[in-house]
Amino acid sequence: MKTNMFSVKKLLILALGLMILIAAGCSAEKSHSDAKGEKTEDDKKVTMIFSFKSPNLDPHTGFTPIRAGVTETLLKLDEHSNIEGWLAEKWETTDNVTWEFTIRDDVTFQDGAKLDATKVKASIERSIAVNESLGGSLKIQSMKADGQKLIITTIEPYPALPSELVNPYTSIVNIAAEKEMGEEAFRNAPVGTGPFQVKKFTPNQEVQVIKNDNYWADKPKINEATIKFNEDANVRALALQSKEADVVYNLPAEGIEAIEKDTALKIESVPGLRSHFVLFNQKSPNVSDIKVREALNLLLDRKSIADDIMLGHAVPANGPFNSNLPFGIDDEVKKLDIKKAKELLREAGYKENDAGKMQKNGKTLKFELITYKARPELPLIAQLFQSDAAKAGVEIEIKMVENADTHLSENSDWDLATYSNNTSPRGDGSYFLNTAFTETGALNVGKINIPELNKLINQLNTTSDLDERIQLTKEAANIINKEIVHSYAVYPNILVGVNNRIKGWAPTAEEYYIITHTLDVK
């Protein structure tokens, strides 16, 4: 009996050992680890979450393709926001009108087609055709392709052209592929030159990309990446904490402390090139009076936004451009001043009724303020603004929308909006000035039209001397502040949550180059 029991135990031990070996083998097969325990290529996958949805992947109307590593531009920004070559290895001009770009000779598209000047020309022509704002910002009169040389002639001296060719909307794609695939299919899977190509795209939900083994710069470190789109900041934060995502953009500041308790995670707080501000609809009679805008400007508590909402991950703003930049201005930061705001409203003809509400001709001063949750701090800024305005007898009704750009451009009955723009994405203020304040500017949803400002912007566009450009940009910023077309709140940091398994990567200030060939995992 004892012998039999011993035999049974022996068999059980042997069976258990065999099961452990099999499980270990399965685990090893599942994790694809090599002898050193490092992940092999097949297992090198990354998941990211962005806060803004993408209805398509058209590179000439959206930023997702360049962020996903699918497309590239002729020129790009280095880590110091200086312009450097990318698909163009060099460029030159003698008069700021005729420009010669030398296209790299070692680049192929993801379908194997060789990149040359003819294909670059066709791609730029498409970008101008599908994106109305690009025609005004590029100012191209003609283009000529000769082998790897692209000659661009502008309609006037235009020293800002290289900066404009950093714009993700000028991403280079193979137009021949669009003709083969059809426009709709191409807009969901563009053929670019980047280190990754589209595997699968689900509109407004996610895009999956796989490595381009023939990438010209170097073989990508990871095999595959998934970018999910989710506008709910709390959901994004939870996905990072649960390890469902490796990198999460635009985290809520109030969630940082909980995330940092997990030693497997870290928060990157990167000083950016962005401004959060209140946008005024110049077509609204409610804000047409500059006295009213001056009053509202004094009801924006910049210090509380930086300290209490952004928890120190922002600094109060004094204008469109960060004061630390060469073209930032020296204006003092406006402080919350309810008493002065009331005085300005009285000067504009408003009087307080018995309930403390500001009225004119029996009509209460009331504004509709648009906000959106993709940037989690903006609705909080709206609520703080609403609370402080109420102390001055001003009513603000907050309206949450899903897509702020679409809503603001398609509707004219709004008064204010909490908004955010990268105001100096290329180490220069001309992009923001041209797109946010000129008649044809894609970001000019407030319909701003100030002749004095227009004149300065036109002068800036034809000026090549750096010191003169800085001075003109400062003068433009001073006019913007004087006319109070925007109320600038803070210069926020970019808050990105990162799993420590990520290596060879860090978020950058310009927010363009996110999934790169150097991105790797431990």
**Span 316-337, average pLDDT:** 94
Position 40 scores a pLDDT of 55
Q: Which amino acid is at 144?
A: K
Calculate the alpha carbon distances from 114 to 121, 193, 195, 215 in Å: 14, 10, 15, 12
Calculate the alpha carbon distances from 185 to 62, 179, 189, 200, 481 in Å: 16, 10, 6, 11, 45
DSSP-assigned beta bridge partners for residue 520: 503
Q: What is the DSSP letter of 285?
A: G
Calculate the alpha carbon distances from 153 to 76, 145, 464, 498, 513 in Å: 20, 12, 16, 44, 28
220 and 250 share a domain?
A: yes
Q: Which two tokens stand for residue 6?
A: 């011993």
pLDDT tens by residue, 136-188: 889 999 999 999 999 999 999 999 999 999 999 999 999 999 999 999 999 99
Model confidence band, residue 41 (pLDDT cutoffs 50, 70, 90): low
**Span 205-228, average pLDDT:** 97
Structural domain contains residue 49: no
DSSP-assigned beta bridge partners for residue 76: 84
H, E, C per residue of 434-462: HHHHCCCCCCCCCCCCCHHHHHHHHHHHC
Q: Which of 149, 177, 205 is the endpoint of a domain?
A: 177
- CATH number of the domain that 397 lies in? 3.10.105.10
42-56, 177-191, 230-244, 422-436: the lowest-pLDDT one: 422-436
138 and 189 share a domain?
A: no
**Span 318-346, average pLDDT:** 95
Would strands 224-229 and 45-50 be described as parallel, antiparallel, or unpaired? parallel
Residue 269 pLDDT exceeds 90: yes
297 and 255 share a domain?
A: no
pLDDT tens by residue, 450-508: 999 999 999 999 998 999 999 999 999 999 999 999 999 999 999 999 999 999 999 99
pLDDT tens by residue, 238-248: 999 999 999 99
Judged by DSSP in three states, 422 sits in strand
192 and 173 share a domain?
A: no
**Span 412-431, average pLDDT:** 90
Burial class (CB in 10 A: 0-12, 13-18, 19+), 334: buried
121 and 251 share a domain?
A: no
Structural domain contains residue 3: no
Model confidence band, residue 34 (pLDDT cutoffs 50, 70, 90): very low
DSSP H helices, 32-74, are 64-67
Distance CA 274, CA 475 (A): 20
Residue 14 pLDDT exceeds 60: no
Highest mean pLDDT among 81-85, 397-401, 407-411, 431-435: 397-401
- Go through 384-406 and write b for each residue having 16 or more CB atoms within 10 A of its CB, e for each that does not: bbbebbeebbbebebeebeebee
391 and 514 share a domain?
A: no
- Domain of 329 in residue numbering reads as 274-492
Structural domain contains residue 54: no
- The residue that leads in pLDDT, 393 or 435, is 393
Structural domain contains residue 410: yes
User: How crowded is residue 503: how many other Cβ atoms within 10 Å of its Cβ?
Assistant: 13
Would strands 98-103 and 363-364 be described as parallel, antiparallel, or unpaired? unpaired
DSSP-assigned beta bridge partners for residue 487: 278
244 and 301 share a domain?
A: no
* pTM given for the model: 0.86
Q: Which of 154, 177, 200 is the endpoint of a domain?
A: 177
Structural domain contains residue 39: no
373 and 464 share a domain?
A: yes
**Span 276-282, average pLDDT:** 95
Distance CA 153, CA 475 (A): 29
194 and 132 share a domain?
A: no
Percent of the chain with pLDDT over 70: 92
Residue 344 pLDDT exceeds 60: yes
Give the total number of structural domains in the chain.
3
Position 345 scores a pLDDT of 98
Structural domain contains residue 22: no
The average confidence (pLDDT) of the chain is 91
Contact between residue 70 and residue 192 where contact means Cβ atoms under 8 Å apart: yes
Distance CA 503, CA 509 (A): 18
Does an H or E element contain 32, and which?
none
Q: Which of 161, 177, 193 is the endpoint of a domain?
A: 177
Contact between residue 496 and residue 249 where contact means Cβ atoms under 8 Å apart: yes
Judged by DSSP in three states, 12 sits in helix
Residue 5 pLDDT exceeds 60: no
Q: Which two tokens stand for residue 173?
A: 């794609």
Position 29 scores a pLDDT of 35
- The dihedral of CA 282, 287, 291, 293: what is its sign? negative
Residue 391 pLDDT exceeds 80: yes
Contact between residue 505 and residue 206 where contact means Cβ atoms under 8 Å apart: no
382 and 331 share a domain?
A: yes
Residue 105 pLDDT exceeds 50: yes
168 and 202 share a domain?
A: no
Closest CA to 58 of 165, 131, 137: 131
- CATH number of the domain that 168 lies in? 3.40.190.10
184 and 323 share a domain?
A: no
Distance CA 251, CA 256 (A): 8
Name the one residue in this structure whose structure tokens are 């077309």.
Answer: 485
Structural domain contains residue 50: no
Contact between residue 478 and residue 452 where contact means Cβ atoms under 8 Å apart: no
Structural domain contains residue 26: no
CA 480-412-396 angle, to 5 degrees, is 75
